[in-house]
């Protein structure tokens, strides 16, 4: 596609529910990144993929967070048993290769009530 696409754009969920956030990167981009933007916290790196592989998962805030990428394309970030502190904007980005220019999606605003 023309740009990085994320869905849904907004998600309101009840505390304790699971949520899935989707990212469609720019076609042909091998690297994909997830970031979290919380009020007053700036941008926090969560995880990156090179192809379908995520070499470093240490940025994920807790074991309730997981991510996968299939076919070197679409990625899903899953948050289990959501908590109120998970409320944030989750941003996905992709780049042609690692350490080249990253292009961001518009984000998914997650609100846990």
Partner 1 sequence: GNSVTQMEGPVTLSEEAFLTINCTYTATGYPSLFWYVQYPGEGLQLLLKATKADDKGSNKGFEATYRKETTSFHLEKGSVQVSDSAVYFCALTNSGYSTLTFGKGTMLLVSP
**How near is the Cβ of 99 to partner 1 at its closest, in Å?**
5
**How near is the Cβ of 16 to partner 1 at its closest, in Å?**
29
Going across the sheet that includes 19-24, the strands are 5-7, 19-24, 75-79, 65-69
Is residue 25 a contact residue for partner 1 (CB under 8 A)?
no
Residues 28-67 vs partner 1: string with x where CB under 8 A? ---x-x-------xxx-x--x-x----xx--x--------
> Which DSSP string do the residues of 40-74 spell out, in sequence order?
TTEEEEEEEEETTB-S--TTSSSTTEEEEE-TTS-
Q: Which residues pair with 112 in a beta bridge?
A: 13
Given 15, 16, 68, 98, the residue binding partner 1 (CB under 8 A):
98
The CA-to-CA distance between both ends of the chain, in Å, stands at 33
Interface residues with partner 1 (CB under 8 A)? 31, 33, 41-43, 45, 48, 50, 55-56, 59, 91, 93, 98-99, 101-107
């Amino acid at each position: 596609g023309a740009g990085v696409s994320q869905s849904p754009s907004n998600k309101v969920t009840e505390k304790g529910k699971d949520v899935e956030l989707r990212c469609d990167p720019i076609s042909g981009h091998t690297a994909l990144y997830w970031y979290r933007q919380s009020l007053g916290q700036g941008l926090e790196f969560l995880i990156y993929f090179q192809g379908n592989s995520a070499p470093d998962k240490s940025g994920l805030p807790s074991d309730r967070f997981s991510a996968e990428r299939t076919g070197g394309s679409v990625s899903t970030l899953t948050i289990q048993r959501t908590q109120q502190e998970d409320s944030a904007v989750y941003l996905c980005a992709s780049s042609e290769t690692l350490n080249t220019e990253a292009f961001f999606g518009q984000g998914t605003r997650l609100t846990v009530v």
